Amino acid sequence: MKDKKLFNDGFVNFGDIFSKTIDVQKLIFESKKLLDNAILNKENLEKIEISQNDFNDDSIGEGSYALKRIDQHNKEISKILQKIFNNSQLNEVLEKYLGKNFKVHQISVRKSSENDKGLGIHQDGPGQMNLVILLDDNNDIYGSTVFLKNSHLINSRAEELKLLTPPFFLKLYRFCLSYISGKSGDICLFINRTWHGRYPSSGKKSKYLIFISLHAEGTEYGSEHDDWYNDNYLGNLPNSKFKDRINHKVGTTKISDKIFLINDSSSKKISLSFEQPKKNKIGNISLLNLFYLITTISIVYPARFIKRCLGK
Ligand SMILES: [Fe+2]
């Protein structure tokens, strides 16, 4: 599996690598059905045995919806994900980036609706990565996750520079942004240190995908807004890499009920190495990213200053 593009750009589409081993159409059908049903019953989720923590709407940007732990909610999806995570080639790449003890946390299906207002540029936790399975063909930027290509190599984090920008900035900077184009069923991977957001919808169509958050060895994971997998679901899974990856009690140390620390090892972790700025090569940063940095700073900083003065 070629991951040079992932290393250089911060994201990659590996293509339909599982087309022969998994039933992609079944995965697409079941995942969409599950989320559509949750949206339909969002005022009464207990009725369909979904916890409030598992369902997100406006919190991930107005006009988009997500449902977590989809494998626990649907047996067919679970079987397909077991096959994906037990694949030795994919495991090899993931272990190279995240260490051999990496954990799989949120397995979600997300819908960007026709009314999606987008999500501003941000980064996620240190060493975090996302595996993405496209559930629709993606031929345009609308409703897509967008990236500032190779911005994972910028030494400072967006929040340190106070450059977490709102969604309307995406439209201003459309020419600076890249998105992952591909066909439904394609498997993509991105490094969450890469500055990213979600481009607003065109108002014409919705897009679905599966988002799987992956956490590196030596980092903490979990949140008060997430539920861990049920013991009952885990107990009924056949022994496999997948089962251990999603079980927060395996290969971890408890920090609190909602936060666990992933056991470290001496294995190399490329995704975490980007957090050590000296290792980043400044020469790899594109002119486009420099342009983005300079112009957003010259818009955002004075705007904040004026807002503060007017607020006094
Ligand atoms: Fe993110």
Token pair listed for 73: 């909610």
How far, in Å, is the centroid of ligand 1 from the Cα of 228? 20
Calpha distance 190→200 (Å, rounded): 20
How far, in Å, is the centroid of ligand 1 from the Cα of 154? 17
Q: What is the pLDDT of residue 279?
A: 60
Q: What is the pLDDT of residue 168?
A: 80
Query: Bridge partners of 146?
Result: 179, 197
Q: What is the pLDDT of residue 284?
A: 56
Q: What is the pLDDT of residue 282?
A: 53
How far, in Å, is the centroid of ligand 1 from the Cα of 198? 9
Q: What is the pLDDT of residue 240?
A: 93
Highest CATH level, class, for 2-283: mainly beta
Q: What is the pLDDT of residue 112?
A: 95
Question: Are the C-beta atoms of residues 6 and 98 closer than 8 Å to each other?
Answer: no
Q: What is the pLDDT of residue 81?
A: 96
**Average pLDDT by consecutive 10-residue portion of the chain (312 residues)?**
87 90 93 96 92 84 92 96 92 95 96 93 93 96 93 80 78 89 95 94 94 97 94 96 96 96 94 78 66 79 81 71
How far, in Å, is the centroid of ligand 1 from the Cα of 157? 13
How far, in Å, is the centroid of ligand 1 from the Cα of 96? 21
How far, in Å, is the centroid of ligand 1 from the Cα of 235? 31
How far, in Å, is the centroid of ligand 1 from the Cα of 196? 6
How far, in Å, is the centroid of ligand 1 from the Cα of 128? 9
How far, in Å, is the centroid of ligand 1 from the Cα of 239? 31
How far, in Å, is the centroid of ligand 1 from the Cα of 122? 6
Q: What is the pLDDT of residue 280?
A: 57
How far, in Å, is the centroid of ligand 1 from the Cα of 259? 19
Q: Strand, helix or coil at 289? A: helix
Query: Helix-strand-coil percent breakdown of the chain, rounded to 5?
Result: 35, 20, 45
How far, in Å, is the centroid of ligand 1 from the Cα of 20? 30
Q: What is the pLDDT of residue 25?
A: 94
Question: Are the C-beta atoms of residues 106 and 226 closer than 8 Å to each other?
Answer: yes
Residue reference for tokens 């607020």: 311
Half-sphere exposure of 35 (CA within 13 A, CB side): 28
Strand ranges (E), 192-256: 196-198, 207-215, 220-221, 252-254
How far, in Å, is the centroid of ligand 1 from the Cα of 72? 23
Question: Are the C-beta atoms of residues 263 and 101 closer than 8 Å to each other?
Answer: yes
How far, in Å, is the centroid of ligand 1 from the Cα of 240? 28
How far, in Å, is the centroid of ligand 1 from the Cα of 285? 20
